[in-house]
Amino acid sequence: MTNAQSIPPLVLNANLNLDGVCEAITAEANQVTVMNGATMSPLVRIRGDALEDGFGSAVLVIPDSNGDGEPELLIAAPSAFGGRGAIYLFRSPWMSPCSEFVSAARADAVVRVPDEDVAVTMFGVGLREMFDIDGDAMSEVQVFARTVNAQGEPSVRVYIFSPSRAEV
């Protein structure tokens, strides 16, 4: 008998605190846990607003965008805000380790679907880093969402998120 089923699924390996050792980032039940790769103790635990938000269903570590030298953590909650979705940008929450849960409300930025895009849902269903578009030498992030096309068929909508400006 192993305890394998009690270990939440790994979503990402990335070094967040610049010690040369990758952290293990796991997500389950509306919560993202960053385990310090060097000590295997929790570095930070971040909890979404509501259980049904799908907080942590997509997670991306992106290069530093605020000049503190530490990478940023981008966490998607595609079912938040009534299924419209949102992404949460954390600019180095691991700098102040704590045993308590950090609320998603403490994110440095919460980005939602533009109000005029009424047919778009599940904003943040996928995240992918891409090249620099706005010329600030920092790569942008593709944020995938769902919509319906002119024929009424389901389709994918891709937004470009700029980490430095924290907007799509």
* Binding region for Ca ion (CB under 5 A): 15, 17, 19, 21, 37, 64, 66, 68, 70, 91-92, 132, 134, 136, 138
Q: Whole-number minimum distance, CB 92 to Ca ion, in Å?
A: 5
Residue closer to Ca ion by CB (options 64, 83) is 64
Tokens of 54: 């799908």
51 vs 130, beta carbon nearer Ca ion: 130
CB of 62 to Ca ion, least distance (A): 9
Question: 61 near 72, Cβ under 8 Å?
Answer: yes
Nearer to Ca ion, 133 or 156 (CB): 133
Long-range contacts of 13-17 (CB under 8 A, 24+ apart): 13/37, 14/61, 14/71, 15/71, 16/43, 16/61, 16/70, 16/71, 16/73, 16/92, 16/94, 17/43, 17/70, 17/94, 17/95
Radius of gyration for the chain, computed over Cα atoms and rounded to the nearest angstrom: 16
Q: What one-character DSSP code corresponds to residue 165?
A: T
Q: How far is the CB of 127 from Ca ion (least distance, A)?
A: 15
CB of 104 to Ca ion, least distance (A): 18
Q: Closest CB to Ca ion among 33 and 92?
A: 92
